[in-house]
């Protein structure tokens, strides 16, 4: 027996745990670094009265989901069959169902 199997397993677990710690550190560090950029973005949002993040430029209801009206998908197709790939990923905003 060159090595104990449990040693192998435990080292893998340790490695994994270490990487998770690194992940948490990376999160903290990146957030820190991003602070200035974030503030600039906030300023732009305020100045230009921006309402949406630019996640996809495919359809108006994926580019400005918060502004989308209930019928935006219907304008693309009478049965509002999804033919935009991004529409299958970006979900319907909750407030469209509320009223």
Helix (H, G, I), strand (E, B) or coil at 94: coil
Q: Contacting other proteins (CB under 8 A), which of 11, 69, 77, 81?
A: 69
Helix (H, G, I), strand (E, B) or coil at 46: helix
Smallest gap from Cβ 77 to other proteins, in A, equals 14
Smallest gap from Cβ 80 to other proteins, in A, equals 12
Spatial CB neighbours of 70, under 8 Å, sequence gap ≥ 6: 96
Question: Should residue 46 be labelled a site residue for other proteins when binding is judged by CB under 8 A?
Answer: yes
Smallest gap from Cβ 37 to other proteins, in A, equals 4
- Nearer Cβ to other proteins (44/77): 44
Closest CA relative to residue 99, chosen from 70, 56, 62, 60: 70
Question: Should residue 5 be labelled a site residue for other proteins when binding is judged by CB under 8 A?
Answer: yes
């Amino acid at each position: 027996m060159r090595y104990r199997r449990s040693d192998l397993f435990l080292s893998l677990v340790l490695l994994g745990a270490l990487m998770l710690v690194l992940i948490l550190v990376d999160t903290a560090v990146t957030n820190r670094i991003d602070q200035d950029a974030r503030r600039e973005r906030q300023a732009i949002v305020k100045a230009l009265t921006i309402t949406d993040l630019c996640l996809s430029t495919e359809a108006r209801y994926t580019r400005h989901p918060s502004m989308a009206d209930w019928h935006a998908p219907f304008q693309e197709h009478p049965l509002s069959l999804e033919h935009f790939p991004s529409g299958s990923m970006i979900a319907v905003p909750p407030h469209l169902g509320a009223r």
